[in-house]
Structure 1
């Protein structure tokens, strides 16, 4: 699949529309907007602020939801990524925490740092959450790189005993071809003689197909049989490709392809974290005893549901 002019135009339009999109913590807490645009608007109006409801360090988990939820963004930040899901989780009674990790030359955009460095920052943040809330385990919800990097935490930083549920949204667990552009990008770096140097400092570059880092990430649920893994992917993903890279295999895994639940959901990579079907399935994964089917709707890339 090629990244077409249609995708580029949609992204440019989404950025332009974001300035006029309803946003702000109070508004989001009252009625979350199921659109990637609301996250962009939140970044414009309150740059690099925690998403609504997140990081209340006085929050103590209730018996119904004993594990605090840690939200981990991809090549973005927590303001943009979790503007929808965070207030929904808080309204459902969860203690929610998020952080922007792995920043570098792209300013407020995180997940840029090498995977081991980002994983150490995530480990430190999880330790802080556990200490503040007095719990032994957290639930992880990660998008894109934020769904893949925690496997490094599990494998190499002693994270297995600290995690109960692990939910990965559109994560490049087995590498990503970036809709076919990864090979071209790699060939350009090879021609310039800088491929290895770039890969050493660029976290997203370390999940290219065939990268040695993928072996270190080792996305094998068997390493943690007591963790409940859930993956959620979209067939229309243009970044974590093929979309099956976001799936896992094991008895402690549930894989969800959005279009199997809702054929009219055209969510792509970025809208996924604000997609109403995804949000419902995250809630179901965190609280399976009270799970209910997601309401199907027509969901457009970047924009969200046509009516809600």
Structure 2
């Protein structure tokens, strides 16, 4: 196989942690997400923007409909050549998308739920592109906040995935700029949800953020639910992770660190 034909295979390996190629889940019904007629309810005034990860293999089939059923206006954001393009450009696209969502819904702020790169990239928007005034919560599912030591990310970079190289834990100028100084500028609330079985964001603790406890909560799913074996991709459809997402969005501040989700075997 030539290097030019390698990106699809590398995408599967990088995002599945060498566990086989992920399958794209069927999208959630259009009647429950991305509705142009949705107006935020009083109890959930902030529209929720779902942001996929690198290679756009994130499934929102669980979280999207679940939040819509609970009365949230939910929108999905696709960006950056399936998340492989320059992350700064993707953050600029997110800025424009949020502006359209706010104009459509007449809301003041959005909440963002992002997976992998999609949990990290919005931090650039928040810190450098005016997002701090537009975002209430950022909830990251296995976010690549400090990059990864997984060497397959480097292979992805050589195969033409700009965002892969930018997510390397070593030598990434993008991450050096993003994480210099205050990692969690206010008034946004930050929740980082991670699984100890993550084989893509390595080590898994690199997902976590430094910041004041009033605005930042870092969660390892297995602390409350030791039997949860969801991995990097599975966390987006994991019922335990969904409960943490709902907890973070449904209260002032980030997720409650003392929250006890219902664990499923």
- Counterpart contact for 2:183–2:209, Cα < 8 Å: no
The CA deviation string for residues 247-276 of structure 1, in whole angstroms up to 9 with x for no partner, is: 011111011000001000000000000000
In structure 2, the partner of 1:70 is 49
1:293 counterpart = 2:260: yes
In structure 2, the partner of 1:106 is none
In structure 1, the partner of 2:68 is 90
Among 99, 121, 137, the residue aligned to 2:77: 99
Larger radius of gyration: 1
Matched residue SS, 1:272: helix
In structure 1, the partner of 2:211 is 250
Structure 2 distance, partners of 1:220, 1:125, is 27
Gaps in structure 1 of 5+ consecutive residues: 16-39, 44-48, 104-109, 190-194, 299-308
Q: Give the C-alpha shift of residue 225 in structure 1.
A: 2.4
Matched residue SS, 1:81: coil
1:207 counterpart = 2:167: yes
Structure 1 distance, partners of 2:206, 2:62, is 25
- Counterpart contact for 1:53–1:87, Cα < 8 Å: yes
Gaps in structure 2 of 5+ consecutive residues: 1-12
Q: Give the C-alpha shift of residue 120 in structure 1.
A: 1.1
In structure 2, the partner of 1:266 is 229
In structure 2, the partner of 1:53 is 32
In structure 1, the partner of 2:178 is 217
In structure 2, the partner of 1:114 is 86
Alignment RMSD (CA, Å): 2.7
Flag the structure with higher helix content: 1
In structure 1, the partner of 2:20 is 11
Taking a change above 3 Å as real, the CA distance of residues 203 and 181 of structure 1, as seen in their structure-2 partners, is: closer
Structure 1 distance, partners of 2:182, 2:101, is 24
- Counterpart contact for 1:50–1:99, Cα < 8 Å: no
Report the TM-score, using the length of structure 1 for normalisation. Answer: 0.72
Structure 2 distance, partners of 1:220, 1:83, is 36
Structure 2 distance, partners of 1:54, 1:177, is 35
Among 177, 192, 196, the residue aligned to 1:231: 192
Q: Give the C-alpha shift of residue 288 in structure 1.
A: 2.7
Q: Give the C-alpha shift of residue 111 in structure 1.
A: 0.7
Structure 2 distance, partners of 1:144, 1:94, is 22
Structure 1 distance, partners of 2:180, 2:105, is 28
Q: Give the C-alpha shift of residue 74 in structure 1.
A: 0.1
Q: Report the count of equivalent residues.
A: 244
